[in-house]
Amino acid sequence: MSNKGFVGFLFVQFALFSVLSHAQVYREGEVIVKLKGDAKSTSAASFVGKVQMEKQMSLSKSWMGMNLHHFKASSGHTTQELLEMYKADPAVQYVEPNYVFSKMDVQEADSVTGLSESQAQASSSSGGFSHNTAPIQAEDAWSVLSANAAAKPIVAIIDTGVDYGHTVFQQSSAIWQNDDEIAGNGLDDDGNGYVDDIRGWNFVGDNNDPSDDNNHGTHVAGIVLGIGQDIVSTVPRAESRILIMPLKFLDSQGSGATSDAIEAIHYAVNNGAKILNNSWGGPSYSAALHEAVAYAYSAKAFFVAAAGNSSSNNDSTPIYPAGYNVPGLAAIASTTNTDSLSFFSNFGLATVHVGSPGSSIKSTLPGDTFGFLSGTSMAAPAVSGIAALMMFEKPDMNGFQIKNIIFSGSNSVVGLSGKVNTESRINVFNAVRSAQTSSVDPSQPAYTISVDQFSRDLASAMDGGAACGLVKALGSSSGALPYLTLILLALPFALYLHARVRKTGSNRRRHDRFVVDTEVAIAVGDRMLSGRVNSISTGGARFQAEDLIERGSVVTMIITSPDGSGRIEVQGNIVWSEQNQQCGVQFSPDKLVKATVEAWTRDLKKEAL
Ligand code: CA
């Protein structure tokens, strides 16, 4: 291989990193802080007072029940600096970036080409969800629903907003109204903390208009409604049996901050929603968001989450909130009209629960129109729609029981074998029928958040000195990502990796290169880059494994910036992985390295999942 060829080859390799990367950004200069003990305790109050007094951070929002506080820097500090400043504060339980999450539909270019005839046909006559090859039996369920007299269960659409003026929602009276709020009087009549919130809230603009400036949320809301009635055919439309609560926390680009997601979840629960549809997510674990999902569970709500559109395995590469192991949460994969997994859909035998139609689904779009979208974003609301019909039949049924009935009533399909926990695709009729005939079980399992992810302390300890025992501890945490950084290359010897070497000549050619095929992941701050490495160089280090382990040798990974202009080195240590029964390399980059890679990967911010 010529020098030129070598360089070109490695460039492609770095491009692969970019394509496969799971990048999640955060709001710069913001953090979410969990304080120890009770929110009313002296230590909590004095912490909040202290940081504001010192003019380091200003308080944006507090969730007192969780002793959780959203701060913005008032001192020009970066998020990274705020994290460093406060993680060791004795009053702080944890501090994390205000991560940004994304909607989970797939881009037009990625959509399946050509609608299935049966699905398109069904769409034009019946709402788009019933077809012969993958019958979810929605229409069969409609004929057994009770008369429309009971209270309507409320489904919160935590999304980009909803075009609540759409004819479909208006004619069916499907939009939730806050009866305790007087419109336009400038007062918070019901004392829920929101002025004139007559039909939900816009957490992006912090106002009472949760309109949809994207199209995602309107489509999602239409699917929820469309599970229970025909939304596509012309008038007259029947009155809905459910209510849609529009909660906008994703902006016009489909992105939204953790702090707003937490607030939307609280609004939903505190204002009567029993089903929360969440067609969004991201790869970074947020303990604060985890607590919000647990809060919804404590209120016996059903939390429905899209599994993600990366075609990846959530068991090993989790997506949140779908990945939280809260008992009242269901993570939804997307299926096609032939009951196979949609090509984009994430899966996971342990952590993704059930399949639901999400390829080319016809539903409402803003401006009184209809259109097709694909994604696990479209699969999740079908489950929310089923849950709503079940709660219409059995208003006292809690989210946990609803979830289990949906799972047990779903149809086992070959295409989901080994892919999702139930290995099944939803069935509306079975779920509704089963809800009608089941007695209400008010109980639900106790749940407390277990620290099953890398804590900051553990990650920090990694800097102090790698040891085989530490890797064992890290390896037992079932695929969760470290907060700081860990790269474990499951290779039986030390590596000196060249992502790209611009300098040609003797220095590089002196070393042998080895063809390998292994996954490598780089976590830097809130970013996760992953890809496959297929070339390594011994780079001057002699790789006698035992020798290196004994000496605790330092390994360096060189990363060149995508445009080739910059280059950094990351130090790592050879360690033994009990889990993999192999030696690997554990890297612990410092702040400068993280900041550099951060800058290089800034362009990845806009990449949707
Ligand atoms: Ca209010």
pLDDT of residue 362: 87
Report how far ligand 1's centroid is from the alpha carbon of 145 (Å). Answer: 33
Q: Is the peptide bond before 381 cis (omega within 30 degrees of 0)?
A: no
CA of 189 to the centre of ligand 1 (A): 5
- CA 252 to mean position of chain CA atoms: 18
Task: Name, in order, each residue with C-beta under 8 angstroms of 330's C-beta and a sequence gap of 6 or more.
Answer: 302, 303, 304, 305, 353, 354, 383, 403, 406, 407
Mean pLDDT of 212-223: 96
**Distance from the CA of 190 to the center of ligand 1, in angstroms?**
5
Q: Mind spelling out the 3-state secondary structure of 425-457?
A: ECCHHHHHHHHHHCCCCCCCCCCCCCCCCCCHH
Dihedral, 57, 59, 62, 67 alpha carbons, nearest 10: 30
432-469 residue pLDDT tens: 999 999 999 999 999 988 654 333 332 222 222 222 22
> 207-211 long-range CB contacts below 8 Å, 24 or more apart?
210/161, 210/162, 210/164, 210/246, 210/247, 210/248, 211/161, 211/162, 211/163, 211/164, 211/248, 211/366
> For 23-40, what is the mean pLDDT?
86
Residue 383 has pLDDT above 70, yes or no: yes
Query: 350: how many CB neighbours lie within 10 A of its CB?
Result: 14
Average pLDDT score, the chain? 75
Check: CB of residue 504 under 8 Å from CB of residue 519: no
pLDDT bracket for residue 600 (50, 70, 90): low
Least confident of 8-22, 229-243, 529-543, 546-560: 8-22
Distance 223 CA to ligand 1 centre (A): 28
Question: Measured in angstroms, how far is the CA atom of residue 267 from the centroid of ligand 1?
Answer: 10
Please give the pLDDT value at position 2: 32
pLDDT at 568: 61
Q: Which amino acid is at 480?
A: A
Q: pLDDT by residue (tens digit) across 483-511? A: 222 232 222 222 323 222 223 333 333 44
What is the distance between the alpha carbons of residues 299 and 297, in angstroms, rounded to a whole number? 5
Q: What is the mean pLDDT of residues 274-279?
A: 98
Q: What are the structure tokens assigned to 361, written together?
A: 């689904």
Rounded Cα distance between 306 and 320, Å, is 9
Lowest mean pLDDT among 192-206, 242-256, 578-592: 578-592
**What does the alpha-carbon distance between residue 511 and residue 534 come to, in Å, rounded to a whole number?**
16
**Annotated active-site positions, please?**
159, 216, 377
Task: Look at 91-100, 290-299, 379-388, 511-520 and tell me which has the smallest mean pLDDT.
Answer: 511-520
Higher pLDDT, 42 or 116: 42
Expressed in angstroms and rounded, the spacing between residue 321 Cα and the centre of ligand 1 is 27
Can you read off the two tokens belonging to residue 343?
């090509």
Q: DSSP assignment of 334-347, as one string?
A: EE-TTSSB-TT--B
pLDDT for 123 beyond 50: no
Residues 333-378 pLDDT 10s: 999 988 999 999 999 999 999 999 998 888 999 999 998 899 999 9
What spacing in Å lies between the alpha carbon of 237 and ligand 1's midpoint?
30
DSSP state string for 69-131 = EEEEESS---HHHHHHHHTT-TTEEEEEEEEEEEE----GGGSPSS--HHHHHHHHHH-S---
Is 219 in contact with 244 (CB distance < 8 Å)?
Answer: no
Confirm whether pTM is higher than 0.85.
no
CA of 67 to the centre of ligand 1 (A): 23
